[in-house]
Amino acid sequence: MDGFEANQGYSQRFGLHYVNFEVGSRPRTPKQSAYLYAEIIEQNGFSSQKSKKFKAAERPLTRRLAALPPSEVPSQAKVVWEKFSSQSNFDRKMYHYGTFPEGFSWGISSSAYQIEGGWNADGKGLSIWDKFAHTHLRISNDDNGDIACDSYNKVEEDVAILKQLKVTHYRFSISWSRVLPDGTTNYINEAGLNYYHRLVDALIAANIQPHVTLYHWDLPQALQDIGGWENDTIVTKFRDYADFIFDRLGHKVKFWITINEPYNVAMIGHGYGVGAPGDFRPGTLPYVIGHNLLKAHAEAWHIYNDKYRAKQNGIISITINSDWSEPRNPYKQEDYDAAIRAIQFYIGWFAHPVYNGDYNDIMKTVIRERSLAAGLSESRLPEFTPEEVKRIKGTYDYFGFNYYTTVLTFPVDYKNLQHYDGDKGAGSTVDLTWLDSGSGWLKVTPFGFRRILNFIKEEYGNPPIIITENGISERGTVDLNDTHRSHYYEKYINQALKAYLLDGVDIRGYTAWSLMDNFEWAKGFSERFGFFYVNHSDPNISRVAKKSVSDYSKIITCNGFPHPASGHECLNPTGLNVTFALLIVATFGAVCASFCFFKSKNQICKSGKTF
């Protein structure tokens, strides 16, 4: 039973029986392990006869959890863990044949600051990333996006590589300060807007649908100077910007994203401060920023809904990113609880207000309690008024989702540290057998993709999902034979296929990240996510296909992974050539046969030796 554990006192419990040290009579309660050990003793090992009984120990998670103290936390994450708890490693990795629905969209993504360059061309205003990247020591190698991939001058080249990939959609973002240099509609930079017209026209001519993100992290510096996302006047400024873009480009664009990854805007830019604008107030600022991002998103969605939807007929949503969290130790309730907190503080922070209404209970409760305990008069998490909850809830046409990786979670007590991480109260680690990438945070974890897609289905009412980003990086020596990338896409897309076919997750489209190697934020050009390598030592800044280009296009033309016996024409890309060759052989044969027929007395022909 639990006892006095040397200098650890009663804090470490080794017992098969739980002892309640708070009660004078020291009551003992058997733990699950007590029963198991009793059985092993009874069987004198693991008797095959009685193994049925012993199997209780290998029961699915549902039962295992039931034996632990019931968690008060409501979360669909449990449903997902229960569903997959009995999945064997073999099952987890098993390749699944099948295809996505007809009309599924296959895309590739990029973002303005990461590829455009032309940082001060034709009247463009500065963005927070121009300023951040021009600050010494902010970016690896002091790289910046002044030229980047020079996409501002390379519409034709970019569309050519998109055609080579055979994508049906191209996701790119608009640089707010390129079109509205001071962030407001007081002055419109037509030359900058014209770049997007040229790009959209070229895409449409190539039969590629534009999927446009309005905000991919590059706020006009002029707006940052008056407080940026911290100042709630940003909400109407963003709405006006969105209104302006819908008005000018909306007749050509059917797919919109308001804001990319609000989590990263809030945390990377204002919590950890390692992205622009580089603010570091991790206990309060991310929550204020997140609050205004959600309100701004909702206003942009409403203006589209009220003013443009009927005539432009497009769809619009926010793109939310998140890791999937597994408990570090699947036999520990506290690790499940930590994983639930991690999930609700990540995907749940933004998805709950948009899909279910208001912040989730875990964030509301934990942040309030920790704020009050630190002597603050109110929660550091701002509150939505009931009208705001209503205004934000339901502002989606699909679930835009970016997924890269999974983590293993465990509880961490940050005492009263007023920090987002302290509120979350969870740390994370990875399984050392997971393959790594060029980015420290990104481990190859396709199984988590299927799980988090299931979570979205269960938690947010089965919305249609468009995966708007998913990809892998490398660093170091350039090697165009990027088999690790082909492997990543095959495995991840196959898990998405399982989510669609086996679990009924409503996936409508998939978008890979990224079209070409580009400016990877604070990592500069050192981490490369592209299907195309960008040769910066060539004056033309040429794009060179990596091996994975043909592998991704094959998945696209196959619309997934059709069974070899299905006869899907994509499996035989040389099908036409083969038919053609057979035709030639047949014709040739016929000619020869008739030749022999007419010369039937000729011995050489009969013996066929000539042929």
Cβ of residue 513: shortest distance to ligand PNW, in angstroms? Answer: 5
The answer to whether 520 contacts ligand PNW (rule: CB under 6 A) is yes
Q: Which stretch binds ligand PNW (CB under 6 A): 95-103, 256-264, 453-461, 586-594?
A: 256-264
Cβ of residue 148: shortest distance to ligand PNW, in angstroms? Answer: 12
Cβ of residue 402: shortest distance to ligand PNW, in angstroms? Answer: 6
The answer to whether 517 contacts ligand PNW (rule: CB under 6 A) is no
Residues 414-453 that bind ligand PNW (CB under 6 A): 441
The answer to whether 333 contacts ligand PNW (rule: CB under 6 A) is no
> Of the two residues 396 and 513, which places its CB atom closer to ligand PNW in the complex?
513
Task: Give the C-alpha distances (Å, rounded to integers) separating 604 from 587, 589, 596, 608.
Answer: 21, 16, 9, 6
Distance in angstroms (rounded) separating the CA atoms of residues 497 and 97: 9
Residue 443: other Cβ atoms inside 10 A:
21
Choose, by CB under 6 A, the member of 264, 542, 557, 566 that binds ligand PNW: 264
The answer to whether 116 contacts ligand PNW (rule: CB under 6 A) is no
Q: Which of these is catalytic: 469, 474, 490, 520?
A: 469
Structure tokens at 451: 């799980």
> Of the two residues 2 and 279, which places its CB atom closer to ligand PNW in the complex?
279
Task: Say which residues have a Cβ less than 8 Å from residue 509's Cβ, sequence separation at least 6.
Answer: 104, 105, 106, 107, 169, 466, 467
564-593 exposure pattern, b = at least 16 Cβ within 10 A, e = fewer: eeeebebbeeeeeeeeeeeeeeeeeeeeee
Residue count of the chain, please give it: 611
Pair type for strands 426-429 and 324-327 = unpaired
> Of the two residues 231 and 264, which places its CB atom closer to ligand PNW in the complex?
264
Cβ of residue 523: shortest distance to ligand PNW, in angstroms? Answer: 8
Structure tokens at 214: 């309005």
Distance in angstroms (rounded) separating the CA atoms of residues 418 and 285: 11
Residues 51-70 that bind ligand PNW (CB under 6 A): none
The neighbouring-strand residues paired with 319 are: 260, 400
Distance in angstroms (rounded) separating the CA atoms of residues 436 and 405: 10
Closest of 244, 216, 232 to residue 128, by C-alpha: 216
The answer to whether 150 contacts ligand PNW (rule: CB under 6 A) is no
Burial class of 556 by CB neighbour count within 10 A (0 to 12, 13 to 18, 19+):
buried
> Of the two residues 105 and 321, which places its CB atom closer to ligand PNW in the complex?
321
Cβ of residue 267: shortest distance to ligand PNW, in angstroms? Answer: 9
Cβ of residue 142: shortest distance to ligand PNW, in angstroms? Answer: 19
| Contact in structure between 319 and 469 (CB atoms under 8 Å) | yes
Could you confirm whether 469 is annotated as catalytic? yes
The answer to whether 470 contacts ligand PNW (rule: CB under 6 A) is no
Q: Which stretch binds ligand PNW (CB under 6 A): 52-60, 72-80, 181-189, 259-267?
A: 259-267
> Of the two residues 116 and 240, which places its CB atom closer to ligand PNW in the complex?
116
Task: Give the C-alpha distances (Å, rounded to integers) separating 253 from 141, 243, 245, 404, 574.
Answer: 37, 14, 10, 27, 35
DSSP for residue 125: P
Which position's Cβ is nearest ligand PNW?
441
The answer to whether 469 contacts ligand PNW (rule: CB under 6 A) is yes
SS3 call for 481:
coil
Strands of 218-333 (E only): list them: 255-260, 315-321, 324-327
Cβ of residue 396: shortest distance to ligand PNW, in angstroms? Answer: 18
> Of the two residues 111 and 418, which places its CB atom closer to ligand PNW in the complex?
111
Q: Which stretch binds ligand PNW (CB under 6 A): 201-209, 257-265, 557-565, 602-610?
A: 257-265
Distance in angstroms (rounded) separating the CA atoms of residues 323 and 474: 19
Rounded to the nearest 5 degrees, what angle is found at the Cα of 481, between the Cα atoms of 478 and 484? 95
The answer to whether 513 contacts ligand PNW (rule: CB under 6 A) is yes
Choose, by CB under 6 A, the member of 260, 406, 454, 486 that binds ligand PNW: 260
Q: How many residues bind ligand PNW (CB under 6 A)?
A: 13
Residues 207-246 that bind ligand PNW (CB under 6 A): none
CA 204 to the chain's CA centroid = 26
Question: Per-residue x/- marks for ligand PNW, 527-546, CB under 6 A?
Answer: --x-----------------
Distance in angstroms (rounded) separating the CA atoms of residues 304 and 315: 9
Q: Which stretch binds ligand PNW (CB under 6 A): 175-183, 260-268, 545-553, 557-565?
A: 260-268
Distance in angstroms (rounded) separating the CA atoms of residues 384 and 294: 10
| Contact in structure between 248 and 205 (CB atoms under 8 Å) | no
The answer to whether 321 contacts ligand PNW (rule: CB under 6 A) is yes
Q: Which stretch binds ligand PNW (CB under 6 A): 18-26, 43-51, 258-266, 379-387?
A: 258-266
Cβ of residue 468: shortest distance to ligand PNW, in angstroms? Answer: 8
> Of the two residues 224 and 470, which places its CB atom closer to ligand PNW in the complex?
470
> Of the two residues 189 and 319, which places its CB atom closer to ligand PNW in the complex?
319
H or E element: which one contains 399? strand 399-402
> Of the two residues 131 and 554, which places its CB atom closer to ligand PNW in the complex?
131
Distance in angstroms (rounded) separating the CA atoms of residues 141 and 236: 37
Residues 159-218 that bind ligand PNW (CB under 6 A): none
The phi, psi pair for 109, rounded to 5°, reads -125, 165
> Of the two residues 250 and 448, which places its CB atom closer to ligand PNW in the complex?
448
> Of the two residues 288 and 516, which places its CB atom closer to ligand PNW in the complex?
516
The answer to whether 350 contacts ligand PNW (rule: CB under 6 A) is no
The answer to whether 261 contacts ligand PNW (rule: CB under 6 A) is yes
Cβ of residue 410: shortest distance to ligand PNW, in angstroms? Answer: 18
Choose, by CB under 6 A, the member of 75, 105, 111, 395 that binds ligand PNW: 111
The phi, psi pair for 532, rounded to 5°, reads -115, 135
Please state whether the peptide bond connecting residue 127 to the residue before it is cis, i.e. omega within 30 degrees of 0. Answer: no
Active-site residues, by number, are 469
**Residues in the site for ligand PNW, rule: CB under 6 A?**
111, 114, 260-261, 264, 321, 402, 404, 441, 469, 513, 520, 529
